[in-house]
Structure 1
Amino acid sequence: MHTDGSADEDIDLRHHGDTEVGEGLRDYAVNVRTGMPPDWLADRLRAAISDLAAYPDPSAARRAAARRHGRATEEVLLTAGAAEAFVLIARALRPRRAAVVHPQFTEPESALRAAGHAVERVVLGKDFALVPSAVPEDADLVVIGNPTNPTSVLHPAAAIAGLARPGRTVVVDEAFMDCVPGEPESLAGRLPGGVIVVRSLTKTWGLAGLRAGYVLAEPRLIAALAEAQPLWAVSTPALVAVEECLAPAAIAEAEAWAARMGAERDRLAAELAGRGLYVVPEARASFLCLRVPDALGIRALLRERGFAIRRGDTFPGLGPDWLRVAVRDRAANDALLEVLGELGI
């Protein structure tokens, strides 16, 4: 693990999985659950169209998020997806020394740099395990993912909570935490002082086009973020989605999916590892991170055969020998394994 105070100009922080997808390609690049949203949610979203003449009222959705995590409503801010949350954090906070733990989702660093903040990268070492002592002692803003995109590593909650201290804000991107049954390492229900938890409904419920997420933090931080947020930033359909997806029945449905997905993810990881590939161990999210010799060349060959895979070299801390693969259903995963076999992998 090491720190890097410079930005690598060759890394495109704004490159995301949707850039990989094209007409006629089977999508293993975007970490959004396929076949979503379910009919019951789609029906509620269609019904919300009749309320579009009125300005959005976030009250019910905010209460739903608060109930979901045992928080007060003053500890919740609804956002247009997790990406907006990172922009608000970059606008509202004035860090002297910001540290972003990599590899991770690149939008937090991108938002900080766009707001004029210098960013120091803390690059994780073997198997991308977190070593809290590697974070600079005087960093007053620390950003980390859990479970982390793209590595699928789930860090212990105690290790992340241990990063919190007076004068420091710790931002935890939990966009994929609902991939983990029971969410044992989530800080959403604990919220140590100075910790901001960012959550998303995009991944599990297939709502990338709707932009629905929320932030959990102590009231003073929520108030600061709210000051940086435009009025009515979250649309009425997105607010309906938050309310519906955080209801007990929906949470139970998501937990059942997470268990099924986890079993299929572990099968796919074992198949890939059995072919001699390095798969980041103990994956806990809905994707796998692989090290493959000439990964960019393999990615190009897969595209020729109709498969879109996420390149890894746009994540700081990875490089040209890395790929990220979204976990799909068994049939789709077997199709990917078959074409890899045809390529000699």
Structure 2
Amino acid sequence: MLEHGGNLRDAALRHGRDDWLDLSTGINPNWYPAPQVADNAWHRLPEADPALAEAAQAFYGAPLMLPVAGTQAAIQALPRLRPPSRVVVAAPSYAEHAHHWAQHGHSLRQVPYDALDAAVDECDVMVVCNPNNPTGASVPPEPLLEWAARLGARGGWLVVDEAFGDTAEGGVCAHAGHTHGALIVLRSVGKFFGLAGLRLGFVAARPALLSDLADLLGPWTVSGPAQQVALAALRDRAWQDGTRSRLAAGGQRLQDLLARHGIRSSGAALFQWWPEPRAEAFHEHMARQGIWTRLFTNAARGIRLGLPPDEDGWRRLERALTLWTKEDL
């Protein structure tokens, strides 16, 4: 299994402490206040509630969506719905995409973001995280839709993972099902709403592909409590509007704080990333201060930081960065 952020049990075992400020994920630290669910949500088999898909379609602007048990479920299933194909995954990006496409007989290449256009005509499937995790790189809608049309003309797919798209402009959900049916868009409830524990995401695509995906995933993929909580979150426009503003301000604050300590970062509202030459040393330094960061040691060698949850967290982070700067002098 690949390593991910949020692995605080590993952090506690490795460093012998439990007072962590967890900045290792890009999840909203101030999550949606989940309402009380109906008692029978724990008793009944979780039949799919059409209202959930309708609320998601309204929130994301998609013509049709399938609820799934987190976007991870779709990431693992989509490679099983195609015969062996030539697959290009934008790199660096969320490692689960390349990991699963490589497991099902496909020919895989990882291509830098600035070389994707040239690669479209040399593949059958292209996978792009937009905004990218971990770097925050993004591709405007116009080239994405052009790539989808070029791929779709010969039966290909463009998979766009918009898990971090709720705080960004330029999503392409509204176009899923068009462009020769090539466009497949993944959206996540876990990041923006801070509800990763629900294990809920949505897939926008043409009806036939969503039907095939639903058949592969089987019945009862999303729990009853998760459906009820998500329905409330997707309909709560006042909370969504306020949260977008707070997260945008938090992302800028984090970037500015890092810049004051000599770190030039990029990212999105929920996280910042930079290529750190001494990535392991930085990660260990922060761990000694009780701050858990996301360390990348592969081609995307660097550090990702999420947002602190409160002012005490911001102060802890600033103190740790100050100590790092002093040690580095």
Q: TM-score, normalised by structure 1?
A: 0.83
Per-residue deviation, 1:244 = 1.7
* Aligned equivalent of 1:312: 296
CA RMSD after TM alignment: 2.0
- Counterpart CA distance in 2 for 1:135 and 1:333 is 42
- Counterpart CA distance in 2 for 1:251 and 1:122 is 38
* Aligned equivalent of 1:188: 173
Q: 1:344 aligns with which of 305, 318, 325?
A: 325
Contact 1:200–1:214 under 8 Å retained in 2: yes
Per-residue deviation, 1:37 = 3.4
- Counterpart CA distance in 2 for 1:76 and 1:93 is 20
Q: 1:84 aligns with which of 65, 73, 92?
A: 73
Task: Name the SS for the 1:143 alignment partner.
Answer: strand
Task: Name the SS for the 1:343 alignment partner.
Answer: helix
Matching of residue 97 in structure 1 with residue 97 in structure 2:
no
- Counterpart CA distance in 1 for 2:261 and 2:30 is 29
- Counterpart CA distance in 2 for 1:264 and 1:329 is 10
Q: 1:61 aligns with which of 27, 47, 52?
A: 52
* Aligned equivalent of 1:7: none
Task: Name the SS for the 2:293 alignment partner.
Answer: strand
Task: Name the SS for the 2:110 alignment partner.
Answer: strand
Per-residue deviation, 1:136 = 4.3
Contact 2:90–2:116 under 8 Å retained in 1: no
Amino acid at match of 1:326: G
Matching of residue 270 in structure 1 with residue 256 in structure 2:
yes
Q: Kindly provide the CA deviation profile for residues 185-217 of structure 1, in whole angstroms up to 9, marking residues without a partner as x.
A: 000122242101101101122222220111001
Q: 2:212 aligns with which of 206, 211, 224?
A: 224
Per-residue deviation, 1:121 = 0.4
- Counterpart CA distance in 2 for 1:294 and 1:70 is 42
Percent identity of equivalent pairs: 27
Q: 1:48 aligns with which of 20, 30, 38?
A: 38
In the comparison of the two structures, how many residue pairs are matched?
310
- Counterpart CA distance in 1 for 2:84 and 2:144 is 19
Structure 2: where are the runs of 5+ without partners? 13-17
Amino acid at match of 2:35: A
Per-residue deviation, 1:170 = 0.6
Match runs of 1:268-307 below 5 Å: 268-280=254-266, 283-307=267-291
Report which stretch shifted further, 195-204 or 102-111. Answer: 102-111
Q: TM-score, normalised by structure 2?
A: 0.87
Per-residue deviation, 1:94 = 2.5
Contact 2:69–2:222 under 8 Å retained in 1: yes
Q: 1:162 aligns with which of 132, 135, 146?
A: 146
Match runs of 1:103-122 below 5 Å: 103-122=92-111
- Counterpart CA distance in 1 for 2:163 and 2:325 is 35
Per-residue deviation, 1:33 = 1.6
Amino acid at match of 1:56: P
Amino acid at match of 1:226: A
Per-residue deviation, 1:70 = 4.4
